[in-house]
Amino acid sequence: MGLPSKQPVLQGIGQRRSLPPETFTNGQKTARTTVELGNLLFFPIDSVNEITTSYTVSGLIPNQKYLFRLRAYNDKGSSPNTSGIPVVTPIDPTFVVPNPPTNLKVTAVSQSELDLTWQDNSSNELIFKIERRRNGETGWTEIAQV
């Protein structure tokens, strides 16, 4: 059985890519890299042959913390894992935080209803979160997402 091809290995947080059962032909050694997302359990992401000393992991999420570790396998078993190495993937250079809305206006519709309008100054927002705070309170409460 051949080694798995290098396809994108992570499709989302917590999803696993299954690997074929390990086979050893004539004592061929293999190494398997494993990855941990945050505090999730380590799980295998791929196997490589005994002469490989580098590997490119793809399909990772920008600005996400990962831990990587490595161990070697052969027909007798596996070595201990290396220490987990923490890394944070770079921020996507195309990612831009949306500009804040401006010109918030509040108009009374009735004794118990207000209309809010604002200027949208961004084209990359996913939602607006509307919060309110009553006079005398210290914390804001989210009341809607639009």
How many domains does the chain contain in total?
2
Do 83 and 111 have their domain in common?
Answer: no
Do 58 and 83 have their domain in common?
Answer: yes
Record the pTM.
Answer: 0.42
Residue 58: what residue type? S
Q: Which domain holds residue 125?
A: 102-145
The helix/strand count (H/E) of the chain reads as: 0, 9
Do 67 and 131 have their domain in common?
Answer: no
Average pLDDT over residues 108-114: 95
96 domain-assigned: no
Of 46, 61, 91, the one marking the end of a domain is 91
113 has a pLDDT exceeding 80:
yes
pLDDT of residue 9: 38
Give Rg (Cα) of the chain. Answer: 25
97 domain-assigned: no
pLDDT digits (tens, 9 = 90+) for 35-94: 544 445 566 666 666 677 777 778 888 888 888 888 777 778 878 878 888 888 888 777
Residue 98 pLDDT class (50, 70, 90 cuts): confident
